[in-house]
Amino acid sequence: MTTNPSNPAGPAGSRQPVSEDALVDWIDGSLSPQDVRRLAAESGRADLYDRIGQMQRHRAALRSLGDASGAVRAPADLHNRVLAALERESLVGHESDEILKLERSAPTAAVPAQLRLVREETDDRAAWSRRVPSLALAAGLLLLVAGAAYWTTQMMRSASPRLANPGTTIAKNDTNASAGTTAAAGSQVEQTSPTTTLAANEQADTMTAMSTADASMARSSGFAAGPVAREVNIDEALSLAREGRLAIRVVSRDLKGLGKLEQDGTQPREGQSWELSRDVPPAVLAASLPATSEASRAFVRASQQYGSSAQPAMARGPAMFSTASLISPLIGPGAAVTSIAPASVINGPSLSASYLLDLPQTERAFDVIRAVLRDRLKGEVVFAELPDTVPVTMTADAQDALWWTKPSSQWSSRVSVPLLIER
């Protein structure tokens, strides 16, 4: 028998604990009048009759709703809804774990309502917090990879001038006639930034060595005839670029605009779709040149031998040493890319410079670059089909990884195409 010390409350003086069971029976009308009188007397509460009477009226009101006799009808479509839900369940599978959890949870009246709410809230938080470590790990890894890609790219870019600028300078300094004289290189260096002068001198000497060995072969190879099998239009050029069998040749008598072109290409302005890279791998350059060209072989040999390290300078003796030339191949990202030759260094009879051109794979982009090349170099621009696939590997760029941050109009894929500047 449970007792209720607090209810029914009343101002009576001699109050005794009243059994809740007995009170419920009283409310339900299952007590005899004698038992009712005895209970009222035992409780010593004057208002007990009134209170029990109230509860009896409330009970009667609820009973009169007629729920037990089917007063509340289900909606007509409930049957079909349940069947549809069951069919969906059978097709999709069991309901979510969340619903199962709710089904299993016991409604515990003993637990205060507020505490139960907190528990449920805590359960939701716990379910969420279980996923947090894996999400955080994934986010951390993503940040790490993105950061590594970004800094690698930045470091490689910062290393590039040390390797390629001198070569480019020499390339721009038409070496056909001078055939590697130090004076010729020195005169061209005056047009470049002071920071690259020393390296330019070293590279000029490098090319001197290369030129003396291979210049005769280059001249005799007829390199000016070009590497291509045939000229193609823009549509074909797009598909060839996808296949890696496209080169762009520019033949010009006046290369004064080359410097400006290179500057624009290596430091693209906002909205400029194309970029130039001076780092053309020898293999790419070799594949872009005709297979029979001795000049190309000579260039590749030379670039592999001298291209990006201080070995030639060291070989020339102590007089040519410099701190920069010693340290540059050993420290920093440049050491990691020593296999990349200063590809724009061409000592052939007519090939003046070479680049890797990175541009969107769209007709408009190809049109634009053709117009730009014509405008800057005042020469003929030819899209040339190569007999074999050029092993161009796209450089991983942080900007590439962030393609989704750009406008959707810039979501086209990009291609790298060898650009050969010939005089």
Residue ranges binding another protein (CB under 8 A): 1-2, 4, 7-8, 20-21, 23-24, 27, 51, 54-55, 57-68, 70-75, 78-79, 81-87, 89-91, 94-95, 99-100, 102-111, 113, 116-117, 120-121
Cα–Cα distances (Å) from 111 to 4, 107, 219, in that order, read 19, 9, 96
Which of 56/176 has CB closer to another protein? Answer: 56
Which residue number, 16 or 413, has a Cβ lying nearer to another protein? 16
Q: What sign has the CA pseudo-torsion 207, 302, 298, 266?
A: negative
Across the beta sheet with 230-231, the strand order is 230-231, 380-385, 246-251, 414-422, 351-360, 275-277
Task: Answer whether 251's CB lies under 8 Å from 227's CB.
Answer: no
What one-letter code names the amino acid at 171? A
Beta carbon nearer to another protein, 120 or 363: 120
In the structure encoding, which two tokens stand for residue 385, read together?
Answer: 């089909």
Cα 250 to Cα 157: distance, rounded to the nearest angstrom = 25
Using CA atoms, how far apart are residues 176 and 349, in angstroms rounded to an integer? Answer: 5
Q: How far is the CB of 126 from another protein (least distance, A)?
A: 15
The least CB distance from residue 55 to another protein, in Å, is: 5
